[in-house]
Structure 1
Amino acid sequence: MQKKLSELQVGQKAIIVSLEDEELVLKLLEMGFIPGEDITMEQIAPLGDPVSVNIAGYQVSLRINEAETIMVEI
């Protein structure tokens, strides 16, 4: 089942499927958001923005609008 990264709950794991925003693709790829990588939602700020994920052993924080452009498979 595919979802946006922003829709995952804390502790939920997924695999990155695609990056949907052409303007952010290069930035996200440089940060390690490569299709096929495992990703885990680690924290969601009290107001929902930002979110923190674990990817390739690194903690990365994203704005919610960036997380909405990353499609994952659960």
Structure 2
Amino acid sequence: MRTLKEIKCGETVKVVKLNGVGAIKRRIMDMGITKGTDVFVRKVAPFGDPLEVTVRGYELSLRKADAELIEVE
């Protein structure tokens, strides 16, 4: 399975699973990233951190460490 960290700029993917536990998983879910949600990768910083994505109609910046916890297809 690929993670959100591996997705290239301009791609749209669907969230399959969140791998975090406890507060980290809760924080990701509170940002609107849940199973079945479409995520569009808008920009990736030159060194890969952070990623700017569009989720549920709004822009969101994610750290690489958080993006690694999100499995997508």
| CA displacement at 1:47 relative to structure 2 | 1.0
1:6 corresponds to 2:40:
no
Q: Structure 2 CA distance, aligned partners of 1:7 and 1:47? A: 13
The two structures have a TM-score, normalised by structure 2, of: 0.94
Q: Deviations over 1:34-54 (max 9, x none)?
A: 100111111000111000101
1:1-74 matched pairs, under 5 angstroms: 2-23=1-22, 24-73=24-73
CA RMSD of aligned residues (A): 0.8
Q: Structure 2 CA distance, aligned partners of 1:53 and 1:15? A: 12
The two structures have a TM-score, normalised by structure 1, of: 0.93
Secondary structure in structure 2 of the residue aligned to 1:29: helix
Runs of 4+ in structure 1 deviating by more than 3 angstroms, as ranges, are none
| Unmatched 5+ stretches in structure 2 | none
Moved more, 17-26 or 30-39: 17-26
Q: Structure 1 CA distance, aligned partners of 2:47 and 2:14? A: 25
